[in-house]
Amino acid sequence: MKIATYNVNGVIGRLPVLLKWLEEDMPDVVCLQELKTTDAKFPRKELEKAGYGAIWHGEKSWNGVAILARGQEPQLTRKGLPGDPDDSHSRYIEAAIDGILVGALYLPNGNPAPGPKFEYKLAWFRRLHDYAAELLELDIPVVLAGDYNVMPTDLDVYKPERWLDDALFRPEVRRAYADLVAQGWTDAVRHLHPGERIYTFWKYWRNSFERDAGLRIDHFLLSPAIAPSLKTASVVRSPRGWEHTSDHAPVMIELKLSKRVGDD
């Protein structure tokens, strides 16, 4: 099974890019972030024509997350992260697919820091931490994939000295991510590529992609029940070089499943 995460930076405007990539790589499951569209305008029909069922949690102009499944309908299990009933941002959606619980998330950016947006980011991280702990207690196969808006270590950012005060790299945020992983999750990309500089995001300006001046902010966290099935983890760089593309590239893992996960 191939599972991908992709911050599309506007699913309507980038739809040709998304459909081209889906046709080329044919991932089985895709977690999308930054839809930047309402529920009513989500391109369900176009994705169905491409062979994908979908669930989505949209928001006008901002945020928005979705989960796609090739050849089937994802079974919705949750919209929104628990812990704050007043939080109206569309940043989390979750589905059961072939015995795996897949959570697609878009963590707040948090800039400028310090400030209210940074405090919201840390609060959202705490809610994610608490909910992730609940998922681990279930002892089931779980994949939490998406744009975490954090570079966990110096290895995950080009010229880290330039990012010390940024909300994606401040020590509070890196500590929050480390504490989350320490619950028992496996960071898929870093687990298989412990010493490599691997990036998933490049700014549009100053030829950042061509110079490979990027950040690793899109992550897969795997629960202990699914981590042993991990076989590959990589960044699909080619779509980042296409016309009118996102500033992120898709990240994809491959799981080797001998049978339906969770079956006895």
pLDDT per residue as tens digits for the range 132-158: 999 999 999 999 999 999 999 999 999
- Residue written as token pair 């300006």: 205
Q: Is 190 helix (H, G, I), strand (E, B) or coil?
A: helix
Cβ(110)–Cβ(168) below 8 Å: yes
pLDDT at position 114 over 50:
yes
Positive or negative torsion for Cα 6, 8, 12, 15? negative
261 C-beta neighbours (distance < 10 Å), count: 18
Q: How far apart are CA 199 and CA 201, in angstroms?
A: 6
CATH of the domain at 108: 3.60.10.10
DSSP state of 253: E
Predicted confidence at residue 264, as pLDDT, reads: 44
169 contact partners, CB below 8 Å, separation of at least 6: 150, 151, 157, 160, 163
Band (pLDDT 50/70/90 cuts) for residue 180 is: very high
Strands in 212-250 per DSSP E: 218-222, 230-235
Q: What is the pTM of this model?
A: 0.97
Give the range of the structural domain holding residue 197, as residue numbers without chain letter.
Answer: 2-255
pLDDT tops 90 at residue 262: no
Number of domains in the chain: 1
Q: Tell me, yes or no, whether 263 lies in a domain.
A: no
Mean pLDDT computed over 193-216: 97
pLDDT digits 0-9 by tens, 12-60: 999 999 999 999 999 999 999 999 999 999 999 999 999 999 999 999 9
Which residues are within 8 A (CB) of 148 and not within 5 positions of it... i.e. 6 or more apart?
105, 107, 177, 217, 218, 219
- Name the residues annotated as catalytic: 106, 147
- Alpha-carbon gap, residue 98 to 111, rounded angstroms: 37
Kindly report the length of the chain. 264
What percent of the chain has a predicted confidence (pLDDT) above 70? 98
Residue 75 inside a domain? The answer is yes
Place of tokens 């999308």: 32
41 lies in some domain: yes
- 83: in domain: yes
96 burial level (CB within 10 Å; 0-12, 13-18, 19+): middle
Q: Is a pLDDT exceeding 60 seen at residue 244?
A: yes
pLDDT of the residue at 259: 62
Enumerate the β-bridge partners of residue 106.
147
pLDDT at 258: 74
3-class SS string, 29-89: EEEEECCCCCHHHCCHHHHHHCCEEEEEECCCCCCCEEEEEECCCCEEEEECCCCCCCCCC
pLDDT digits (tens, 9 = 90+) for 63-102: 999 999 999 999 999 999 999 999 999 999 999 999 999 9
In a domain, 262, yes or no: no
Neighbours of 89 (CB within 10 A): 18
Look over the chain and give the mean of its residue pLDDT values, rounded to a whole number. Answer: 97
Chain centroid to Cα 99, Å, comes to 19
Residue 185 in domain: yes
- Going by DSSP bridges, is the β-strand pair 142-147/251-255 parallel, antiparallel, or unpaired? unpaired
What pLDDT score does 139 carry? Answer: 97
Whether residue 264 lies inside any domain: the answer is no
